[in-house]
Structure 1
Amino acid sequence: MEKYDLTVAYRIYPEISRSPAVFSSDKYKLSEFCLKSFKESLGDLNVKMIVLLDGCPPTYEELFLKYFDVENIDFIRLDGIGNLQTFGLQIEILLNQNYSEMVYFAEDDYFYFPNQFTEMVEFLKENSDVDFVTPYDHLDYYTQNIHKNKKSIKVSKNRQWKTVSSTCLTFLTTKNTLKETEKIFSTYQKGNSDFVLWLSLTKSSLKPIILIKSIKIFTLEIFYKILLFTRNQTLLGKSWKLWAPTPTIATHLEKNFLSPDIDWEEIWGITIE
């Protein structure tokens, strides 16, 4: 019998990456802002946290213990091994744990709405054609031709869910699905991009007319990565379904890619930097 509803592999690094919309010069404050929202979003879910502290000082461990009970959290202390290797560790950890069938890859720069994470879990449980779920309604879905493809739509609890071609590396799935797709996700450690690995899994934007409309995105480098890392999956593998919510359940905090149609400054009570 599973002990938890969900196992989370949460990776965190004490330096600022990209351009966050808030706390752009203070990673600790940004980390707490995100972690607090994540905890509040989980609601009543019984969650096992496995935290990858990549070069973090002791204050970061204390931060997690502020929001999660010590018996429900494990820490893995790493010496600044970086983004590629920590993602590989997330895969390994989530495949080898026996706490739950449902697993979540978490990055440290997402803001979540309170008491909404359960909707993702229920959506995945209740629909056999849902393989992966992202909490993030990405701005690119509305601005880039690569995402202007035919979508499947479902409505659940006043939220619309749609199939999408790609997302980042924060997502929900099951151990079984992760096991079947492990080889594709593992190409990220070898130099593949998250964009390419998702396109190869979902395949929904690989139709000729979409490729032609998206020629600015599909550079020679992208084609090269598909051929080098995911050729067999792209040509012969199963098409997997990745779903995203509208309105969003969370947003990546990169300033130029916040989820659209939401007044984030009003939600946060903080001016976007």
Structure 2
Amino acid sequence: METKINIIFRSCDVVNAVHNAPRPFDLDKKTLIKICFKSLHNAIKNYNYSITILGDNLSEEMKSFFKEFDVNLIEGIFGNDESIRQTIKIAEQFNDEEWVYFCEDDYLHRPETFQYIIDLIENRDSVFPASIKIKKLLRKREITLLSLKRFFKKPAIVIHPCDYPDRYKFQYLTKNFIFLSRFCHWRQVSDTTFTFLMQVKDVKRKKNILLKSSNSANDRYLSKNLYGTTFFFKKLLCVSPIPSLSTHMHIETMSPLFDWEKLKDKLLKEI
């Protein structure tokens, strides 16, 4: 069955940044949203998809921009916490076997984003955490003394399409699984923002965690309770690509190993 991605794009052009973090390339919020959405649309347009825009107190300029595309525009005055809760309600309406991409409006996407993601989704049976093995060398032969599974049931995956630069800093280095797909590597991660992909049936299964994490937009609670680290009992395996397929558009968190400015310049000519 062809993979379908249902995108729920949360957008608000009133607030420049929740934590007042500076934006790259001197972009104002409206322009930033436009190029981020255009990059997302360019990346998904050749696949099976739907796009819902959850507009939080949007300006008339942004409403007009989104209406140029084949999207379902939902308008309201929500605030950050309630807008997260609304995305979960929307996601529950999709078919269990489909996927949902919860996407904030300040992530820029590479053109091949969904080519890589859909390939991983369709071959995800090959992605699973290896057992813990204790071995001993005896007479030039390596013998396994103990093999301990990290899960009772193979964990479902969550995909966070952004590779953050702080994961390479010494104080944050941890042992993670690395997986190889047809197009790139994927690193196990144990923390994300509210931008990630899940299968709809997993959204329904983990609804209580997702809803609780919306209080004060608590992505730390989300990550701690949703993603496994060493063991995956009742938790999910979250992975992000190496190199990154998207970047969070804050100066201090731009993903490495890709020319985002060149992509930005190209998109500015398209909007």
Give the TM-score, by structure 2 length. 0.77
Q: CA deviation at 1:22?
A: 3.0
Larger gyration radius, structure 1 or structure 2: 2
Q: CA deviation at 1:266?
A: 4.4
1:96 partner SS:
coil
Aligned residue in 1 for 2:36: 34
* From 20, 45, 48, the counterpart of 2:47: 45
Say whether 1:160 aligns with 2:162.
Answer: no
Q: Which has the higher helix share?
A: 1
Identify unmatched segments of 5+ residues in structure 1: 208-235
Aligned residue in 1 for 2:209: 184
* From 110, 113, 118, the counterpart of 1:113: 110
Query: Which amino acid in structure 1 is aligned with residue 100 of structure 2?
Result: V
* From 132, 140, 143, the counterpart of 2:158: 132
Q: CA deviation at 1:114?
A: 0.8
Partners of 1:50 and 1:144 in 2: CA distance: 39
1:81-92 matches, cutoff 5 A: 81-92=78-89
Structure-2 change in CA distance of 1:169 and 1:144 (3 Å): farther
* From 255, 259, 262, the counterpart of 1:259: 255
Aligned residue in 1 for 2:72: 74
Identify unmatched segments of 5+ residues in structure 2: 129-155, 267-271
Partners of 1:202 and 1:100 in 2: CA distance: 20
Aligned 8 A contact 1:43 1:115 in 2: no
Partners of 2:61 and 2:262 in 1: CA distance: 30
Give the TM-score, by structure 1 length. 0.77
Partners of 1:100 and 1:240 in 2: CA distance: 16
Partners of 2:96 and 2:60 in 1: CA distance: 26
Q: CA deviation at 1:269?
A: 4.5
1:172 partner SS:
strand
Query: Which amino acid in structure 2 is aligned with residue 62 of structure 1?
Result: S
Aligned 8 A contact 1:149 1:204 in 2: no
Partners of 1:61 and 1:12 in 2: CA distance: 10
Structure-2 change in CA distance of 1:267 and 1:44 (3 Å): closer
Percent identical residues:
26
* From 235, 243, 248, the counterpart of 2:244: 248
Aligned residue in 2 for 1:174: 199
Partners of 1:104 and 1:251 in 2: CA distance: 15
Give RMSD over aligned pairs: 2.5
Q: Which has the higher strand share?
A: 2
